[in-house]
Every structure is written in structure tokens, then in C-alpha cells.
């Protein structure tokens, strides 16, 4: 099905199942431990052995020599694979560095060997017996230093300019020109990267934790240089990803190589200390924002530049993305500059671009509001735009940012906010902050297969993944709505590369695109049923397991009496995304308390108001948003991969050193969704919410801290040391 | 993790003698620190002597006042003991500020005192670290040292001792009671128990080879307000940036010790006497001769301000 015209009225609009708060259909499996995650699959073609990955001890250089003989002789060891015996390995399309290093080393903890043994403990212990002699090279590890001569990014990341930014900024009666920084961040999801690989002849099956099944399977074939049809990737349950599992990673490759060498299935899970340096991370940014406004708060000049670094051949963190679209203003420029750094590979993490971009931009707007003596909600409202400010002929498909801000302000009691440093509660300094949330809506081609059995059971098959987001449930809701059956009559099978290729889970495109693909397949199934039952022309209504056409009625199951009906289709998106700017919006409100003595920040209340099209399942969507708000608090207050600029690696590479929020850090969180349906986006009229919930949270926290203390911090995370000495004397 | 053998001790002296006699032998109690370090091959014992089950899990009153806390008393049980809560509140507060409920259920009094530093370079076997590998250098100096020590450190090691409980023990003037392989016992004042790194940061305590902790004694209650204030980057389940243990009387006099700043619980007795004069002079006294790094110099300010918070709380 091609989606190139705004959606008319369709069966989803009935919203008998879609749009209803629905608990997870996979919940019972998960809470009883019956949902197999990558490392846990039991139906393997042989007894599995265990692989343990060895990472490079240096950030950059060459392996001069490597002695694996002690490891090979260690108890239980079945095989040791390194670059010397791995065969020819290529680089996948989505990887920047090789997943198996050696002799050249590109980053710290780059995988250089996998030791396979009968038990995990034997493999781990033997792994420590590999002796490696490195020739260490110097590298670039310091973004602030490398920034100086970093060139402009190119392609879709190239600089943009409209009007005369420099002139308008210079002439603006009110100006803001500030630098902001965001640190490298780690996905730190619960389930580590994990894979079981098994070869049968030249066919390879991997059970893996991967958000994008087709990308993963394709890159695995490419990396191993085998035909794509020889690879099957199975990923029915995934314990979080946040972008860390968008791509093929070393667990998959090393398990596959290990299994080949061991001639039996091999399990590999990356250990926690590998998370920081072996896998990808969100790159740090240094951002400069210049805003010029008239005295009454109209933006006349908007400039946003951002510097980030990556390995040679990598990409920038596109932190200026939202600045092209969020506020009106005739004169504007954005620029991304990319330095080459020899730190591990930077890549997408939840809301790449907007998450760190808004952390800076939305502090800047708060600062400008203060300079103007204007309420920051009002400043955002008066600079709203209903068209793409860089291309005014492109309207937004739907944009209710102003409503989010105003309704949020009302619900949060924003009017009670005082000037900075005015509210105290015992030893606590209290403040409120606001920030706009913005994240582009992306759509991806997505396919699904639907089966109708003689008993009237509807089975959905697609390689779409559920990374803990609730995909199983919204897919079941969509099929139930389309086919007029209860949820219990729908079986959903996900995450298998033998199923039709879907959008996968990333960029908050998963929910809308994959349900739209399923919608297309269900439309086909409805047509097949009507034709099979000979119900003739007319509008078909599917309800209570029956189909009505005019005054003719039949059970849908009857259509499959002679045998299962199987149909397949996909949704392909035309140019509506070009004609209309499709984005999601929100407003975050936060109240914090800062300890006057120690500078510790505790978040007291949080509210998000989101405008993100039709909400397919309010229960799951709320979970997405509160999870994202939690992640936003982490980014605001504590998350930072600490760079060692001499050795070139992230030092705090475990969950003791890389702190994420714990329960005690997270207060009452409230989420409101505006009642929307965006017909330009898809037949589901839905958009993404999973990343929107994170966008802007950091700045809302930062602005609340400023409102509490009167001390502005522009470098994340806002740990107590950043403002402690400015909080006023205590004796 | 290297392969190792394991046995259960039959008595404290048996355990001490075995550890002394067996190369590569170590005691294991709750295992919450030792096992983690073994998995990363930071610790590589070849033989473990399990000291659980020796009956050292009791808290007993000492004649003339005070409590004798068995080496194997779990952190949870110690924190919850009615006598401890009533008379040694700073100890309960320090304990529950540490780790998590699950870990405290396993962690023991002796193991807690002997837990090793959380310096991130100590945890990465690819990095030079004089504590882990004597003579290899110190990667933390000139690197990421934000969590590390500002006083009592040396040019060989700037690690901190991570225990919360030990800081409370220090302010309570506890003493560590041990048995040696030959069966003799002694009591080591907590002040002398942990040693400063100097040029031998791998030596962390006054314990001799095979010497085993059997109990920790706290003298009779000090009275006054007991406070433990732990400051960290998140609200729970994190090690201290700075912590302050204090027992302060109505007259403003008392005792104070700090965690998160030094290779041992940091107390300077002269500073106690300055408590009525306010946090600044106390901090100046505690940190005379401090050698902070650029990224952890904030700990000096933070320590002073946290002492101020504690003094304010004691007054309130
Ligand atoms: C995730 C995590 C978070 C933590 N957070 C905190 C925190 O916030 N604050 C805090 O204070 N602690 C914290 N801890 C540390 C915890 O308190 C210690 O791991 C625990 O107290 C160690 O006790 P154990 O009995 O398990 O020791 P073990 O691991 O069994 O032993 C530790 C050491 O003591 C030796 N030993 C044990 N018993 C004796 C004995 N009787 N005589 C002589 N030597 C002995 C062992 O040989 C070993 O060297 C944390 C630990 C973890 C894993
Ligand atoms: S500070 Fe001490 S523990 Fe840390 S790296 Fe240096 S020597 Fe090792």
C-alpha cells in the first residue's frame, strides 16, 4: 500500500481497541520468565558452548604479536578466534569501526578475540591468558582540542542558512550568545548485547538482541561475506536498546565466528564493563547558540552550531536538528562540525540530535526570556510557527506546541513560579523549569503478513521488534481493530528475519510505521475474506468476529474453512513527509529542590504534555514517556562517560561508575497526551512518542535548577560541583 | 576469574592459620566485594577459606558498656539492632546509606572494613595501578580523579576508602579485634587499622598475614546527636563524594569523621575541639595539607559545606 494522500476515514477511526489503555499481552510471559531473551533460547541445534570476548587494551595502535596458546590449552576451551584465523571479515554498512580488530586497533575495548569453552567461567578465565603485545599510537581524544579545526559536516548534515543571520543578530536589541556542552552518554540498557549463533552447513542462525532485524541480518552477511539468504536473525524479545542495538555489534560477529570454529552453537553476552567502550555511545557536543530578539520577544536571529567527534568515517551528533524547525525567525543558521576522534564509535542514542540539541537550545531560550523579562512559556508561544521556518511553503502536518505549553503551565501551577533564588523550604532551594519538547516524526517502509485460520484466529508475522516498548500489544490492537475480533483472537509473532521486513524499532518510527504496515496487510485480508465469502460489493464492517456488507453477514472464520488465508503487504510512504513537516511536540515542566549546603539536586515533580498524533495505547505510551523523563533526569544530573584523554577511553565503564537514576531519584511523574490524529502521517494517524518524552527534559531540569539557585550551569550533567561554590556561604 | 579451591574454616584460629600457611589463600565472608574483584581478576586468590558459620555473627554487650560486634554480623542486622539504633545512631545511619538492601543482607562487618577502593582505574586491569599491581604506576593521577582522594594520599595512589560504616566506626572510636595464626589476639584502634598509601598503596591495613578480624568493639555510648550525611551524585546506591559522620552534644562539642576524601576514614582529633567554632575552622583543620586535583578540589568546599549542614542539623 502506498501512503501518498492524507488518510480518510478508515476502520482504525472506530477506536474500539486501538487507543484504549491496554496492558501488555506479553506481560504474563515476561513476569513469569517465559519470554526468552537472546541469551536464553533453548531450542538449539546442539549443546551450546560459551564465548567470552576479549577487548583491546589500547585505544589506537597495532597488535604486534598475540599468543593464544595458553588460552587454547586451558581447561574446557574449544576454540579461540582472532583476526588471524577468523577468515575474511568485512565492515557492515552501519558500522564505523571493524567489529573484530587486529592487527589494526581503532578504539579501546575493540574486540580482538573470542574464547569459546564448555562453560562461561572457563571461557572467561582462559580469556585472561591471551598475551597481546601492542604498538600504541597516539590519538585524538579531546573534543575541545579537536574542535578547533573540525570541518563542516556534509550531506544532510551540511550547514543551513536563511536570510542574513549575522546582520540580524548584530542588530538585535536583545542578544544571547552562549556555549553549552553535553557529555558522551551510554545507552546502559538492562539487557547487554547478547547472541547465540549456530551454523548448520553454510546456514547461520543467530538469536540476538537487535532492534533492526533486517539491518542486523544484512550486515551480518556482509561482515562474514556470505549470501544474505544464508542468515537468519531471531529477536522476539529485547531488554531495551535505546539505539545501542540498532546495528550489528561484536556479540553477533564473535558468536558467529566462535560457533563456526567450535562447530556448535555458541552464546556470547557482552559483560557490563564492555558497554562503554566496545559498543556505541551518544557523542559529546560543544554547542554555541546565538539568539537575537526584538524587545517584545520576537526572534529575529537564530544561530546554532554544534561540534562533535567520531572515528574516521563516522557521523556528527546532529544537535542542531530541532533548531531548524522549533521557532519562527527570519534569519537563521545552523552548522554541525565533525572532528575525528579516536574514542569508541559514536552513534544513535534515543532521540539522537534533538536530545542533546534541546538540552542546549532550551536553556538558551530560558536565558533569553530572562534577558527580556518575559515568562519563558510566553516567549515560546509568541515564537511559534505553523510552517517550516527554513521553507515556509511547507506547513507542519499538525503542530500543537502552544497547547502543550499552555495546558502544561495550567496543570503544573506555573503561575506560582518566582524569580530565581526566591523560594526556600528548609535547607532546600526550590525552582521550576520548563522546556519545549520536539522530535521529528520519521516513517519507514514496513511490511507484515497476516493469517486467518479456520478457527478465526488472526496471526501477525513481521520482523518488527519489541524492545520493551509494547509493540506486541499495539500490533494486536491494530489487527483486532481491523479484523473486528477481540485481542485474544490475535497472535503476534515478531522479530524473525524470515518474516516480512518491517520498520524496526528506532528513531521513534516503530509504532506508527509497523502498525501502518500491518494495517495495509489487514486491508488485504479484509478484501480476501469478503471475496472468499462472496459478500459482493459495498462497504464491509468487521465486528464481533463477523463481517457485514449491506445486510449480508458472515463469520470471518468461514472464509478460512477451506484452508488458512495468508496475505502480505507493506506500507510505503510517499512524499507527504516532504510536503508537510511531520514532527511531535511537547512541554516538560519540572520542579526541583537544591540543597543549599551541598548543592545536591532532587527532582520533586515532573509533568509532560505531549502532542504526538493518535496515541495507540495510552498505557504503553505513558510508560515510554515516563521512562524517557527518567532518562532525561539522568542526562541532566548524572550521566557522563568520563573521557581519559591520555589513554583514550571512557573510564567509568560499568554501572557503578556510570550512574543512571535510581528509584529514589525519580518523583511523581505525570503525562498528558493531547487528543490528536494526524492524517498526513499514516493511516494510523499516529506518530512516535518514545523519544519525544526525552527531548527537552534535561533543559527543563537545568532551568528549574537555575530558578532555584540563581546560578546558571551550561555544562551537563549538572552535578553539584558545577554550582557549589556559587550557592552562597554556609557556616 | 582464576580457578580456586575452597574450604570452610572450623574455627577462627584454624582459618587464620590456614590463610597464613597456604599461599594465595584468602578469607571469604559475604563475598560481595571479593567475588566481584575475582571475576575481573583484580583479586586472584587460589584458595578461599570461608569464615561463615563460626558463630561470629552476634552482637554482645561489653561489661562496663559498649558493644562487641561479631565479624560476621551482616550489615542489615547491625543497622537494625535495637541497641545500635538507640545508642549508636550514626552507625545505623551510615550502614543504611551504603550499597543496597540485598548487598547489606550479605555484607559483613569485617568485609565492610576491608572492602577495596572504587577507583575506576583499579577496576580496569589494562591500566597501570600501584594498588593492584605494585610499581606499575597510578593512572588516576592526571586522569579522571573526580571521585578520588584529596588528603592522606600520596604520589603513588590517590584512592579513597569507600566504606560508610568505617567512617561511623571511626567517630565512635571503635577497635578492631583480631586473632593471629598463632592464636594470639589483639585490638587495633580503628584510627590505626587503615594505613595511608605512601609508596605501598597495596598495603591497606595493619593486619598481618593470616590475621583475622573476629569482632569490632564500640565503647560505651557517646550521647549527643548522631548524624551521618552522605553526599553523592544520585539519591541512593552510590558511593560518597563526601560523607560526614558526627556525634554532637548539646554544647556543640563532639566528634567528626569524613568519608570519600581519603584512603581511610578521615578524622583529625584536633578538629573535634573546633566544632563549636563552625564548619570553616573544622574543615581547615581536617584538610590542612590537602592535595586535591583539579577535578576533585570541589571536595574541599563540599566537605566544609556538608559539615555546616551537619552542624545545622545538630542544632535544630
Ligand atoms: C554494587 C555495590 C554497591 C556498594 N555500595 C556501597 C556503599 O555505598 N557504601 C559502602 O560502604 N559499601 C558499599 N558496597 C560495599 C559493600 O559494603 C562491601 O562489598 C561489603 O561490606 C563487603 O563485605 P563482605 O562480607 O561481602 O566481604 P567479602 O567480599 O567477603 O570480603 C571482603 C574482604 O574482606 C576479607 N575478609 C572478610 N572477612 C574477614 C575477616 N573476618 N577477617 C579478615 N579478613 C576478612 C576478605 O578476604 C576480602 O578481602 C557496595 C558493594 C557493591 C557490590
Ligand atoms: S589511585 Fe590508587 S587505586 Fe587508583 S589507579 Fe592510582 S594507584 Fe591505583
Count how many Cα atoms sit within 13 Å of the Cα of residue A232 in the half-sphere of its side chain: 12
- Which residues make beta-bridge pairs with B146? none
Task: Report long-range pairs for A44-47 (Cβ below 8 Å, ≥24 apart).
Answer: A44/A196, A44/A198, A44/A265, A45/A198, A45/A200, A45/A205, A45/A265, A46/A198, A46/A264, A46/A265, A47/A264, A47/A265
pLDDT above 90: residue A410: yes
Q: How far is B199 from A468, CA to CA, in rounded Å?
A: 51
Atom 9 of ligand 1: nearest residue by CA position? B98
Helix (H) or strand (E) holding A585: strand A583-595
User: CB–CB of A644 and B139 under 8 A?
Assistant: yes
Q: How far is A426 from A160, CA to CA, in rounded Å?
A: 49
Collapse the DSSP code of A72 into the 3-class scheme (helix H, G, I; strand E, B; otherwise coil) and give the result.
Answer: helix
- Which of A598, A643, A646 is the closest to B305 by Cβ? A598
Q: How far is B120 from A400, CA to CA, in rounded Å?
A: 46
pLDDT above 90: residue A536: no
Residue A14 backbone dihedrals phi, psi, to 5 degrees: -65, -30
Q: Do the beta carbons of residue A703 and residue A434 sit within 8 Å?
A: yes
Cα of A459 to nearest chain B Cα, Å: 43
User: CB–CB of B2 and A128 under 8 A?
Assistant: yes
Atom 8 of ligand 2: nearest residue by CA position? B129
Residues A623-649: pLDDT tens digits?
Answer: 999 999 999 999 999 999 999 999 999
Helix-strand-coil split of chain B, %, nearest 5: 30, 20, 50
Q: Which of A425, A150, A501, A196 is nearest to A310 (CA)?
A: A150
Q: How far is A633 from A83, CA to CA, in rounded Å?
A: 41
Collapse the DSSP code of B272 into the 3-class scheme (helix H, G, I; strand E, B; otherwise coil) and give the result.
Answer: helix
Q: Which of A410, A572, A691, A729 is catalytic?
A: A691
Q: What is the pLDDT of residue A575?
A: 97
C-alpha to C-alpha distances, B259 to A8, A301, A397, nearest whole angstrom: 66, 50, 57
List pocket residues of ligand 1, CB cut-off 6 Å: A 656; B 26-34, 36, 51, 71, 98-99, 103, 106-108, 110-112, 114-115, 162-165, 212-213, 239
Collapse the DSSP code of A419 into the 3-class scheme (helix H, G, I; strand E, B; otherwise coil) and give the result.
Answer: coil
pLDDT above 90: residue A411: yes
Q: Do the beta carbons of residue A655 and residue A572 sit within 8 Å?
A: no
Kindly state the average pLDDT of the residues A698-713: 98
Label residue B44 by pLDDT band (50, 70, 90): very high
Collapse the DSSP code of A570 into the 3-class scheme (helix H, G, I; strand E, B; otherwise coil) and give the result.
Answer: strand
Kindly state the average pLDDT of the residues B45-58: 97
Interface residue A651 vs chain B (CB under 8 A): yes
pLDDT above 90: residue A429: yes
- Which of A124, A657, A724 is the closest to B120 by Cβ? A657
Task: Determine whether A425 is exposed, middle or buried from the number of CB atoms within 10 Å of its CB (0-12, 13-18, 19+).
Answer: exposed
Interface residue A720 vs chain B (CB under 8 A): yes
Cis amide linkage into residue A47, ω under 30° from 0: no
Q: What is the pLDDT of residue A473?
A: 98
Q: What is the pLDDT of residue B10?
A: 97
Residue of A721, A725, A727 to mutate for B, most B C-beta atoms under 10 A:
A721
Q: Which of A522, A512, A339, A355 is nearest to A448 (CA)?
A: A522
C-alpha to C-alpha distances, B203 to B133, B181, B196, B231, nearest whole angstrom: 11, 19, 8, 28
Q: How far is B67 from B60, CA to CA, in rounded Å?
A: 6
Q: Do the beta carbons of residue B87 and residue B68 sit within 8 Å?
A: no
Residues A52-63: pLDDT tens digits?
Answer: 999 999 999 999
A305 catalytic residue (yes or no)? no
Closest chain A residue to B280 measured between Cα atoms? A731
Question: With a 6 A CB cut-off, is B158 part of the ligand 2 pocket?
Answer: yes
Q: How far is B111 from B80, CA to CA, in rounded Å?
A: 18
Q: Do the beta carbons of residue B131 and residue B233 sit within 8 Å?
A: no
Residues B126-175: pLDDT tens digits?
Answer: 999 999 999 999 999 999 999 999 999 999 999 999 999 999 999 999 99
Kindly state the average pLDDT of the residues A528-535: 96
Q: How far is the CA of A595 from the centre of ligand 1 (A)?
A: 30
**Summary mean pLDDT of chain A:** 98
Atom 51 of ligand 1: nearest residue by CA position? B99
- Which of B121, B298, B308 is the closest to A721 by Cβ? B298
Residue A73 backbone dihedrals phi, psi, to 5 degrees: -85, -5
Interface residue A128 vs chain B (CB under 8 A): yes
Residues A365-386: pLDDT tens digits?
Answer: 999 999 999 999 999 999 999 9
- Chain B positions touching A662 (Cβ under 8 A) are 234-237
Question: With a 6 A CB cut-off, is B121 part of the ligand 2 pocket?
Answer: yes
The separation between CA B40 and the C-alpha centre of its own chain, rounded to angstroms, equals 22
Within chain B, strands assigned E span 5-8, 25-28, 47-50, 59-61, 67-70, 175-179, 185-189, 212-218, 225-231, 242-248, 254-259
Q: Do the beta carbons of residue B175 and residue B66 sit within 8 Å?
A: no
- Which residues make beta-bridge pairs with A588? A435, A608
Count Cβ–Cβ pairs < 8 Å, chain A vs chain B: 103
Q: Which residues lie closer than 8 Å to A272 by C-beta, 6 or more apart?
A: A192, A654, A655
Max alpha carbon distance in chain A (Å)?
Answer: 87
Q: How far is B36 from B42, CA to CA, in rounded Å?
A: 9
Residues A101-131: pLDDT tens digits?
Answer: 999 999 999 999 999 999 999 999 999 999 9
Q: How far is the CA of B147 from the centre of ligand 2 (A)?
A: 11
Q: Which residues lie closer than 8 Å to A44 by C-beta, 6 or more apart?
A: A196, A198, A265
Atom 17 of ligand 1: nearest residue by CA position? B112
Cis amide linkage into residue A103, ω under 30° from 0: yes
Q: What is the DSSP string of A131-169?
A: EEEEEE------HHHHGGGPPBP-GGGS-EEES-HHHHH
User: CB–CB of B1 and A125 under 8 A?
Assistant: yes
Residues A63-86: pLDDT tens digits?
Answer: 999 999 999 999 999 999 999 999
Cα of A179 to nearest chain B Cα, Å: 20
Cα-Cα-Cα-Cα torsion B36, B41, B42, B48, nearest 10 degrees, comes to 70
Residues A12-34: pLDDT tens digits?
Answer: 999 999 999 999 999 999 999 99
Q: What is the pLDDT of residue A399?
A: 98
Q: How far is the CA of A720 from the centre of ligand 1 (A)?
A: 28
Measured at the CA of A611, the angle between CA A609 and CA A616, to 5 degrees, comes to 105
The separation between CA A144 and the C-alpha centre of its own chain, rounded to angstroms, equals 26
- Look-up of cell digits 584512603: B263
Kindly state the average pLDDT of the residues A173-202: 98
Q: What is the 3-state secondary structure (H, E, C) of A615-648?
A: CCCHHHHHHHHHHHHHHHHHHHHCCCCCEECCCC
Q: What is the DSSP string of A346-406?
A: B---SSTTHHHHHHHHHHHHHHHHHHHT--HHHHHHHT--SB-TTSTTSBBS---HHHHHH
Could you say which ligand is closest to the alpha carbon of residue B111?
A: 1
Q: How far is B132 from B121, CA to CA, in rounded Å?
A: 9
Q: How far is A2 from A571, CA to CA, in rounded Å?
A: 6
C-alpha to C-alpha distances, A203 to A197, A226, A227, A677, nearest whole angstrom: 11, 9, 9, 45
Q: Which of A266, A389, A421 is nearest to A325 (CA)?
A: A389
Residue of B233, B240, B314, B316 to mutate for A, most A C-beta atoms under 10 A:
B233
User: CB–CB of A725 and B118 under 8 A?
Assistant: no
Task: Report long-range pairs for A81-90 (Cβ below 8 Å, ≥24 apart).
Answer: A81/A113, A81/A114, A81/A116, A81/A254, A81/A257, A81/A258, A81/A260, A81/A261, A82/A112, A82/A113, A83/A112, A85/A261, A86/A257, A87/A224, A87/A257, A88/A225, A89/A223, A89/A224, A89/A225, A89/A253, A90/A222, A90/A223, A90/A224, A90/A225
Could you say which ligand is closest to the alpha carbon of residue B202?
A: 2
- Look-up of cell digits 559498543: A279
Q: How far is the CA of A653 from the centre of ligand 2 (A)?
A: 16
Collapse the DSSP code of A26 into the 3-class scheme (helix H, G, I; strand E, B; otherwise coil) and give the result.
Answer: coil
Amino acid at each position: 500500500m502506498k501512503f501518498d494522500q492524507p488518510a480518510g476515514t478508515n476502520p482504525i477511526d472506530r477506536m474500539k481497541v486501538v487507543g484504549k489503555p491496554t496492558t501488555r499481552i506479553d506481560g504474563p510471559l515476561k513476569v513469569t520468565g517465559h519470554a526468552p531473551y537472546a541469551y536464553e533460547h533453548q531450542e538449539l541445534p546442539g549443546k551450546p558452548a560459551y564465548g567470552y570476548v576479549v577487548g583491546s587494551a589500547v585505544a589506537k595502535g597495532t597488535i604486534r604479536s598475540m599468543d593464544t596458546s595458553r588460552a587454547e590449552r586451558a581447561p574446557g576451551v574449544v576454540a579461540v578466534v582472532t583476526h588471524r584465523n577468523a577468515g575474511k571479515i568485512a565492515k557492515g554498512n552501519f558500522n564505523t569501526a571493524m567489529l573484530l580488530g587486529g592487527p589494526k586497533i581503532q578504539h579501546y575495548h575493540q574486540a580482538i578475540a573470542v574464547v569459546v569453552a564448555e562453560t562461561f567461567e572457563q571461557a572467561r578465565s582462559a580469556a585472561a591468558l591471551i598475551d597481546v603485545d601492542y604498538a600504541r599510537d597516539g590519538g585524538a581524544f579531546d573534543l575541545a582540542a579537536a574542535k578547533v579545526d573540525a570541518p563542516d559536516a556534509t550531506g544532510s548534515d551540511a550547514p543551513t542558512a536563511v536570510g542574513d543571520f549575522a546582520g540580524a543578530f548584530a542588530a538585535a536589541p536583545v542578544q544571547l550568545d552562549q556555549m553549552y556542552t553535553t557529555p558522551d552518554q551510554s545507552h546502559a540498557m538492562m539487557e547487554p548485547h547478547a547472541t547465540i549463533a549456530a551454523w548448520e552447513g553454510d546456514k547461520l542462525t543467530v538469536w540476538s538482541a537487535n532492534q533492526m532485524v533486517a539491518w542486523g541480518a544484512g550486515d551480518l552477511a556482509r561482515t562474514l561475506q556470505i549470501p544474505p539468504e544464508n542468515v537468519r536473525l531471531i529477536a522476539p524479545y529485547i531488554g531495551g536498546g535505546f539505539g545501542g542495538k540498532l546495528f550489528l555489534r561484536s556479540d553477533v560477529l564473535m558468536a558467529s565466528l566462535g560457533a563456526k570454529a567450535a562447530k556448535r552453537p555458541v552464546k556470547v553476552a557482552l559483560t557490563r564493563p564492555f558497554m562503554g567502550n566496545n559498543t556505541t555511545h551518544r557523542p559529546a557536543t560543544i554547542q554555541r547558540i546565538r539568539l537575537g530578539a526584538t524587545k517584545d520577544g520576537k526572534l529575529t536571529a537564530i544561530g546554532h552550531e554544534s561540534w562533535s567527534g567520531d572515528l574516521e568515517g563516522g557521523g556528527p551528533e546532529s544537535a542542531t536538528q530541532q533548531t531548524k524547525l522549533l521557532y519562527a525567525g527570519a534569519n537563521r543558521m545552523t552548522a554541525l562540525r565533525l572532528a575525528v576522534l579516536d574514542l569508541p564509535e559514536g552513534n544513535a542514542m534515543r532521540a539522537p540530535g534533538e536530545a542533546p540539541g534541546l538540552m542546549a537550545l532550551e536553556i538558551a531560550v530560558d536565558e533569553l526570556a530572562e534577558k527580556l523579562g518575559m515568562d519563558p512559556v510566553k516567549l515560546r508561544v509568541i515564537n511559534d510557527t505553523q510552517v517550516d521556518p527554513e521553507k515556509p511553503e511547507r506547513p507542519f502536518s499538525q503542530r500543537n506546541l502552544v497547547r502543550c505549553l499552555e495546558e502544561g503551565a495550567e496543570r503544573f501551577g506555573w503561575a506560582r513560579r518566582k524569580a530565581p533564588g526566591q523560594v526556600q523550604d528548609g535547607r532546600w532551594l526550590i525552582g521550576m523549569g520548563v522546556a519545549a519538547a520536539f522530535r521529528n516524526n520519521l516513517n519507514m517502509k514496513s511490511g507484515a503478513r497476516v493469517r486467518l485460520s479456520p478457527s478465526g484466529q488472526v496471526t501477525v508475522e513481521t520482523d518488527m521488534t519489541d524492545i520493551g516498548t509494547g509493540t506486541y500489544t499495539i500490533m494486536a490492537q491494530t489487527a483486532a481493530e481491523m479484523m473486528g475480533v477481540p485481542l485474544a483472537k490475535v497472535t503476534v509473532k515478531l522479530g524473525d528475519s524470515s518474516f516480512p521486513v518491517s520498520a524496526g524499532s528506532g528513531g521513534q518510527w516503530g509504532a506508527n510505521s509497523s502498525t501502518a504496515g500491518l494495517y495495509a496487510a489487514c486491508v488485504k485480508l479484509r478484501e480476501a475474506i469478503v471475496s472468499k465469502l462472496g459478500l459482493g460489493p459495498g462497504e464491509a464492517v468487521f465486528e464481533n468476529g463477523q463481517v457485514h456488507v449491506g445486510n449480508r453477514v458472515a463469520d470471518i472464520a468461514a472464509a478460512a474453512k477451506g484452508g488458512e488465508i495468508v496475505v502480505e503487504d507493506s506500507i510505503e510512504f510517499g512524499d507527504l513527509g516532504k510536503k508537510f513537516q511531520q514532527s511531535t511536540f511537547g512541554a516538560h515542566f519540572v520542579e526541583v529542590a537544591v540543597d543549599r549546603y551541598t548543592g545536591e539536586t532532587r527532582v520533586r515533580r515532573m509533568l509532560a504534555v505531549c502532542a504526538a498524533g493518535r496515541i495507540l495505547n495510552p498505557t504503553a505510551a505513558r510508560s515510554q514517556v515516563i521512562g524517557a523523563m527518567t532518562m532525561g533526569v539522568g542526562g541532566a544530573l548524572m550521566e557522563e562517560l568520563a573521557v581519559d584523554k591520555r589513554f583514550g577511553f571512557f573510564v567509568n565503564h560499568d554501572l557503578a561508575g556510570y550512574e543512571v537514576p535510581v528509584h529514589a531519584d525519580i518523583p511523581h511523574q505525570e503525562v498528558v497526551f493531547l487528543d490528536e490524529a494526524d492524517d498526513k502521517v499514516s493511516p494510523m494517524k499516529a506518530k512516535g512518542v518514545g523519544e519525544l518524552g526525552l527531548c527537552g527534559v534535561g533543559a527543563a531540569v537545568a532551568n528549574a535548577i537555575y530558578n532555584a539557585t540563581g546560578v546558571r550551569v551550561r555544562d551537563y550533567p549538572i552535578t553539584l560541583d558545577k554550582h557549589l561554590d556559587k550557592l552562597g556561604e554556609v557556616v | 576469574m582464576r580457578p580456586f579451591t575452597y574450604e570452610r574454616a572450623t574455627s577462627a584460629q584454624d582459618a587464620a592459620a590456614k590463610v597464613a600457611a597456604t599461599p594465595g589463600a584468602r578469607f571469604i565472608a559475604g563475598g560481595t566485594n571479593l567475588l566481584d574483584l575475582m571475576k575481573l581478576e583484580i583479586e586472584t586468590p587460589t584458595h578461599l577459606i570461608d569464615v561463615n558459620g563460626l558463630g561470629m555473627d552476634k552482637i554482645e554487650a561489653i561489661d562496663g558498656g559498649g558493644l562487641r560486634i561479631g565479624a560476621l554480623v551482616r550489615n542489615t542486622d547491625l543497622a537494625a539492632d535495637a541497641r545500635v539504633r538507640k545508642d549508636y545512631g550514626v552507625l545505623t545511619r551510615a550502614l543504611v546509606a551504603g550499597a543496597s538492601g540485598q548487598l547489606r543482607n550479605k555484607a559483613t562487618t569485617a568485609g565492610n572494613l576491608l572492602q577495596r577502593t572504587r577507583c575506576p582505574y583499579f577496576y580496569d586491569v589494562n591500566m597501570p595501578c600501584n594498588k593492584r599491581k605494585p610499581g606499575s604506576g597510578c593512572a588516576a593521577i592526571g586522569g579522571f580523579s573526580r571521585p578520588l582522594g584529596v588528603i592522606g594520599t600520596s604520589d603513588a595512589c590517590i584512592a579513597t576508602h569507600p566504606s560508610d560504616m568505617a567512617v561511623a566506626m571511626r567517630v565512635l572510636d571503635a577497635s578492631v579485634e583480631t586473632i593471629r595464626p598463632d592464636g594470639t589476639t589483639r585490638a587495633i584502634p580503628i584510627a590505626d587499622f587503615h594505613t595511608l598509601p605512601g609508596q605501598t598503596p597495596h598495603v591497606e591495613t595493619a593486619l598481618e598475614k593470616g590475621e583475622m578480624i573476629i569482632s569490632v568493639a564500640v565503647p560505651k555510648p557517646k550521647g549527643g546527636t548522631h548524624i551521618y550525611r552522605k553526599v553523592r551524585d544520585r539519591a541512593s546506591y552510590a558511593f560518597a563524594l563526601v560523607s560526614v559522620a558526627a556525634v554532637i552534644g548539646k554544647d556543640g562539642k563532639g566528634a567528626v569523621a569524613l568519608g570519600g576524601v581519603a584512603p581511610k576514614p578521615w578524622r583529625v582529633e584536633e578538629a573535634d575541639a573546633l566544632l563549636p567554632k563552625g564548619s570553616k575552622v573544622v574543615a581547615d583543620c581536617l584538610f590542612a595539607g590537602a592535595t586535591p586535583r583539579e577535578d576533585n578540589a570541589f571536595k574541599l568546599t563540599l566537605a566544609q559545606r556538608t559539615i555546616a549542614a551537619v552542624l545545622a542539623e545538630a542544632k535544630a
